[in-house]
A and B are shown apart, each in its own frame.
Chain A
Amino acid sequence: MPARQTQHPGTGFFQDAFGIDDRVLAKLISESLGRGGDYCDLFFQEIKGNWIVMEDGEVNRAYTAVRLGVGVRVLKGQQSGYAFSQVLDLPAMLEAARTAASLAAAGGPAPPGPGPEVRPPSLKPGRDLYSCREPWDQVAAERRLALLRGLGRRLRQADERLTKTVLQFHDSASRILLANSDGVKREDWRPRASLAASCVAQMNGKREANHMDITARAGLEFFDDGLLDRLAREAVERTVRLFEARPVRAGETPVVLAPGSAGILLHEAIGHGLEADFNRRGISNYADRLGQRVADPQVTVVDDGTIAFSHGALNFDDEGADSQRTVLVEKGVLKGYLHDRISAAWYGAVPTGSGRRQSYEHPPMPRMRATFMEPGPYHPGEVLAAVKQGIYAEQLSNGQVNIGAGDFSFYVKSGWAIEDGKLTHPIKDVNLRGNGPEVLKRISMVADDLALAEAGFMCGKLGQTVPVSQGLPTTLVQGVNVGGTRS
């Protein structure tokens, strides 16, 4: 898609509301480089969020949040200094610039003094991956409430075993202005919205609970009647199904990963290990494997920031680099890393648009966006038919990985037992664990039904959380360790 000039609700915001024009940007950049830094960026952000809760049919609590500030990052060689200000007047911003400059210069002498002459940055247009019919701050509260009531109505008579429902609607919009000492300026407006249903059901004195959400970078129009129908139906179905669920036997077993949220496998087993900051330090177990065969030729793994409306979509990253589709594994061979500016410079590579941060309070680092496996040659039915005894993992969550050793673990929220190629009964309380490089080698069949998870996964790393997407086609892994309770 060719880049084009876009008008979105972020355009000109910081200039209009706070007088941050090109002259101010140039002054701040100059101040930031005043202690000998080689590069700096300014990340202005305003985030407005709403969160409304409906409990047992009553919409009776809400939370709103406004966060505003500018983060200043200065790089000097390999060293970075960072400071932010929540006050957007010139003296406070200059103070943040001086702090970042002096932190980046720590350990080396650098005379304080006026910064270099800086030419004003010029606006660089980006993609348009998440335009909404109306910006969230123009959507009246009543229309958000109507969504919750619509979902509540659908759940009211869904199943007589339901004893409690908590429904939540969350929306936020982040306005961003980024300017750096390379003369680049970019503006964005990033929406995020999520509708979630938590259900508790009771049967024969036993209680079970489950949760489901659908989350996207989208506007109100995304949450149409069809989506509400499906969310209500599946949230209830996943809860009451747990009454039939049985524990599984612990040990190694074939696992069929369903399309969608099982993409967490890629996120944990390989994605984090390919973030270039871990590799630059040699601390990832993938640090010396570039160009090596790591999986069957059916396996192509991609991290893509350009999928419209996806949770991990970005028009440009938080350092101002264009978002892109990055191939991590191509036909089984390890191809590349996810770079931010620092790691790309270190490797002499081109930034992959993966420099992300939680907010203006944090410096960017290499992160995933939407991580998925390309479709393979099989039909989903063929994959299932190939398993004599195993488990079908449908909804996954709670992924975690130890980058150095490559060991990962994630939790199967809902799944089924497979016997003779057929789903027999639901299973519960199953944790899957394995080692990234080992599990990749055991992927033996990939189907043609790729889907991205609809749930709003948040990825945590070194104290920062960012929205991501993940996806997978139906995939057979020959042998994963299953932690169960049945002997």
Chain B
Amino acid sequence: MYQELKKIAGQVLDLAKGAGAEAAAVKASHSRFVDVALRDGAPDKASASTRQGLSLRLFLKGRYAVHVTSDLRPQALKDFVSGAAALTMALEPDPQRGLPDPARYPTGPPPELDLFDPELSRATAEQWASLASHMEAEASQAAQKAGPPVVSVAGGAYGETAWGYLADSAGFSGELLETGGFAGCSVVFLDPRQDGKRRTGWWWEGGRQLAPFQEEARLSFLAAEAVRRGLGELGAKPGPSGKFPLVVENQAARQLVGHLLSALSGQTVHNQRSYLAGRLGDDIASPLLTLRDEPFIKGGMGSRWFDAEGAVSRPRALIENGMLQDYYLNTYYARKLGLKPGAGSVSNVVLEPSGGQDFARMIAGLKRGLAVTGFLGGNFNSTTGDFSLGVKGLWMEDGEAAHAVEGMNLAGNALDLWRSLLAVGNDPYPFASVRAPSLHFAETRLSGV
């Protein structure tokens, strides 16, 4: 099936050349997934399917456009390419567009990234359903024992096998075959202290291999963690308004790191939409912040050996000891900005730990402040760096959780926030490509009661 898609990709490249393209690149993709959910002891929803598609980057008489289709019938592909060429020709030329510099393609064999597990790839809907059902039953039991009225308990699991193939008219071709699985639970309690409010705790984890999901202890942990997080939200209320230190839990810190990544994107910089534009070499954060793009982490959720345009992936520091070193630059935005291309887009993002502490240890050191476990809505303005975000978590007094927090707001500017960084945890979130650790910030503007 992959061979068939490779053949189709080659045909589309030929059709593109036949339509007059000076260069073209085709990405073919194919994936299979299983998604199962149970609720309150009974199967709820299950789906399973195969997805495939093809995208064509077309460089035609100095013009550029991208065309995507899932209709791979031979005549449909011919019509697709001729339609794509006609639209592309209607545009104005853009001399900066083009395939990567030939020197930037990978050479030698691809590194071993451990992204594929044949067992996960073969896992059936029944296997995933049995994991989900096991977790759901455990979570349900633990929730009933916990005390507060239980409204609903759910368990779910998801497995995927994905294949991607990139080929271009300069002769590059590369492919990546990966598996991924996710499993978790959610538990809804009726809050005995607040009339009518439901408190939801959930926890999901992911990985490349099936075996770790089949471990009894892992499933029990996922169930217990959902219950623990639900109980942790009971009685939530706002804390005081003022300037207080924050510790942001790793899974929530992904959002703050995500804001930083959006400001580091070459496209955002080129569009004058980044507060980090024109600041290469400047100190834009505390010296404790070193942020790297690491494409070769074994089993990493964003690992790869070539990027979206086929350029070789390499580890790269974007921020080093607080100093801005680089943006995410592909061929086009590097040319537009007069800089050297590097990491075209995010693979795995890693922050260097500043000490040996994880979230639990970091919040135990909070005299008076907020432990953030999640955000609700709000906005990050990448042009100015200003943000205003709803937050939830725990109000900490002398290293102890005084009460659960909801309905508070965190506001400020990203430059000030990252300059106030006091510690970077040693607990990177491993279930996503942005492997954010827990982060400790000094005085930050919070509004509550």
Contact = CB atoms under 8 A, between A and B. Distances in A.
A83 interface: yes
B39 interface: yes
Contacts of A285: 196-198
Contact of A86 (B51, B92, B407): B51
Interface stretch (A127-135, A368-376, A380-388, A423-431): A423-431
A96 B49 contact: yes
26 contacts: A58-B94, A59-B92, A62-B66, A65-B68, A66-B68, A79-B45, A80-B45, A84-B49, A145-B91, A164-B271, A209-B272, A250-B241, A250-B409, A281-B40, A402-B200, A404-B200, A405-B199, A407-B376, A411-B378, A429-B386, A431-B379, A433-B409, A481-B409, A483-B408, A483-B411, A485-B445
Contact of A66 (B40, B71, B94, B378): B71
Query: How extensive is the interface on chain B, given as a class?
Result: 35 or more
A363 B47 contact: yes
> Among the interface residues B151, B379, B384, which one has the most CB atoms of the partner chain A within 10 A?
B379
B84 interface: yes
Contact of B377 (A82, A142, A433, A437): A433
Interface in B169-223: 188, 191, 196-200
Interface of B: 39-40, 42-53, 63-72, 76, 80, 83-84, 86-88, 90-94, 125-126, 129, 151-152, 188, 191, 196-200, 233, 236, 238, 241-242, 271-273, 376-379, 381, 383-384, 386-390, 406-412, 445, 447
Contacts of B200: 283, 402, 404-405
A261 interface: no
Contact of A60 (B63, B76, B197, B409): B63
A99 interface: yes
A437 B196 CA distance: 10
Interface residues of A, number: 85
Interface in A43-88: 50, 52, 58-69, 78-87
Nearest to A80: B45
A200 B65 contact: no
Given A67-B70, A250-B447, A166 B197 contact: no
Contacts of B93: 60
**Majority secondary structure of chain A interface residues (helix, strand, loop or mixed):** strand
Nearest to A164: B272
A78 B381 CA distance: 44
A191 to B, nearest CB: 18
> Among the interface residues A59, A434, A437, A485, which one has the most CB atoms of the partner chain B within 10 A?
A485
A164 B273 CA distance: 10
Nearest to A99: B48
A141 B90 contact: yes
Contacts of A60: 63-64, 91-94
B388 A484 contact: yes
B309 to A, nearest CB: 15
Contacts of A270: none
A136 interface: no
Nearest to A399: B377
A35 to B, nearest CB: 12
B161 to A, nearest CB: 16
Nearest to A406: B197
Contact of B44 (A79, A96, A163): A79
The 7 A-B pairs with the shortest beta carbon distances in the complex, nearest first, are A483-B409, A409-B377, A404-B198, A250-B447, A400-B377, A409-B390, A82-B47
Nearest to A405: B197
A324 B236 CA distance: 38
A66 B69 contact: yes
A410 interface: yes
Given A96-B49, A483-B447, A283 B378 contact: no
